[in-house]
């Protein structure tokens, strides 16, 4: 109780005192409240927004900004888990509370540095919103710095791997699917929402809806056009979805269906880590290696921030070696 009262006083005075004055205030409060017992009278709960209502308001604002349902669900579960552990009103949550929570979370779940930093970023977004909306004076996440993570060069498909996968497809649907992923770099979630009518064969392009329902145009090559056209012509069903299951009742293919199909193909061909997202990374890496401006790659992939594009586009080691011979040796 005493600590909460002292924190409330500090929060209220933070906006009018500088750092030195705040330190003096803390010393004075600590001295004045020494051996003092503090009790609070019962408050009307309705007068103060509780944590859950604040979280609902925050998620509503993120939804308006265009966050997907999947992201909102992750935000909610992450913040609610913190609430359950810290057990304080947001006004009283301190930097030390969050540091301790992140430390316990990491040990309990054996979480990677990337995961911990993702949790930290969600907390940062939430408490920054609370600060902007004047629910708290200062975000306790400000002094929790970005978690340093080691950068690993993620694998891409070689030309040989792509050709082997194409040659080993047992049906025209899988061939068209691989070609479309490889030539457009679209997300698997975008692939499965496409309808036949979304495909512009004349201009070899289609419009997809990415994260946050953001619309963008992607382009495919002549080979993809031929295989897509052959696949559609071979279909006997009347489903509007571009990709459907192989057997009746020929329902729209789901993300898990694409992932399982590609994983099975990889195991059969002894190609490691065959996953739809790897086609996207491969496209980005090749585009950068061939000199495509990073801003255009960003637009092609539908990234809001260019830093995200740079993470996807890992420079090919073979090209680094050639550049070393050309410019240094």
Segment 140-167 shows an average pLDDT of 86
Q: What is the pLDDT of residues 27-55, one digit of tens each?
A: 888 878 777 776 655 454 433 468 899 99
Banded pLDDT at 329 (limits 50, 70, 90): low
Banded pLDDT at 214 (limits 50, 70, 90): confident
Banded pLDDT at 211 (limits 50, 70, 90): confident
Identify the pLDDT of residue 96. 92
| CB-based burial label for 60 (10 Å; 0-12, 13-18, 19+) | exposed
Residue listed under structure tokens 């025209």: 172
DSSP 90-139: GGG--HHHHHHHHHHHHHHHT--HHHHHHHHHHHHHHHHHHHHTTSSSS-
Segment 113-140 shows an average pLDDT of 91
Residue 148 has pLDDT above 80, yes or no: no
Identify the pLDDT of residue 316. 55
Question: Taking all residues of the chain, what is their mean pLDDT, rounded to a whole number?
Answer: 86
In 3D, which of 183, 180, 276 has the Cα closest to residue 232? 180
Q: 70-82 burial, b for 16+ CB within 10 Å, e for fewer?
A: ebeeebbebbeeb
Identify the pLDDT of residue 17. 76
Residues β-bridged to residue 105: none
Q: What is the pLDDT of residues 41-98, one digit of tens each?
A: 545 443 346 889 999 999 999 988 878 788 899 999 999 999 999 988 898 899 999 9
Q: What is the pLDDT of residues 271-306, one digit of tens each?
A: 999 999 999 999 988 888 888 888 898 899 988 888
Identify the pLDDT of residue 326. 66
Residue 324 has pLDDT above 60, yes or no: no
Please give the CATH topology (third level) of the domain spanning 57-150: DNA polymerase; domain 1 (1.10.150)
Sequence spans of domains, the chain: 1-41, 57-150, 159-324
CB atoms within 10 A of CB 192: 19
Q: What is the pLDDT of residues 1-29, one digit of tens each?
A: 677 777 778 777 776 777 788 888 888 88
Identify the pLDDT of residue 15. 67
pTM: 0.63
The fraction of the chain above a pLDDT of 90, given in percent, is 56
Q: How far apart are CA 92 and CA 90, in angstroms?
A: 5
Architecture of domain 159-324: Orthogonal Bundle (1.10)
Segment 230-236 shows an average pLDDT of 95
């Amino acid at each position: 109780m005493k600590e909460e009262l002292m924190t409330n006083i500090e929060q209220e005075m933070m906006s009018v005192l500088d750092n030195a004055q705040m330190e003096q205030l803390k010393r004075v409060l600590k001295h004045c409240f020494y051996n003092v017992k503090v009790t609070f009278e019962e408050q009307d709960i309705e007068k103060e927004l509780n944590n859950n209502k604040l979280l609902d308001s925050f998620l509503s604002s993120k939804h308006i900004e265009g966050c997907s349902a999947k992201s909102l669900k992750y935000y909610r579960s992450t913040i609610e888990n913190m609430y359950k552990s810290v057990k304080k009103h947001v006004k009283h949550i301190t930097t030390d509370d969050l540091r301790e929570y992140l430390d316990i979370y990491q040990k309990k779940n054996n979480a990677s540095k990337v995961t911990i930093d993702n949790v930290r970023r969600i907390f940062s977004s939430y408490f920054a919103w609370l600060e902007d909306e004047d629910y708290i004076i200062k975000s306790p996440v400000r002094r929790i710095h970005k978690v340093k993570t080691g950068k690993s060069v993620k694998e891409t498909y070689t030309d040989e791997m792509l050709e082997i996968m194409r040659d080993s497809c047992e049906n025209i649907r899988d061939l068209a699917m691989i070609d479309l992923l490889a030539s457009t770099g679209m997300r698997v979630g975008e692939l499965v929402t496409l309808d036949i009518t979304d495909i512009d064969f004349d201009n070899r392009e289609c419009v997809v809806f990415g994260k946050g329902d953001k619309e963008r145009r992607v382009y495919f090559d002549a080979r993809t056009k031929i295989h897509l056209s052959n696949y559609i012509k071979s279909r006997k069903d009347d489903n509007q979805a571009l990709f459907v299951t192989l057997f009746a009742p020929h329902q729209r293919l789901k993300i898990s269906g694409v992932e399982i199909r590609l994983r099975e193909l990889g195991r059969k061909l002894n190609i490691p880590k065959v996953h739809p997202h790897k086609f996207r990374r491969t496209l980005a890496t090749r585009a950068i290696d061939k000199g495509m401006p990073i801003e255009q790659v960003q637009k092609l992939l539908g990234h809001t921030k260019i830093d995200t594009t740079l993470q996807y586009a890992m420079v090919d080691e073979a090209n680094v070696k050639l550049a070393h011979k050309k410019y240094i040796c």
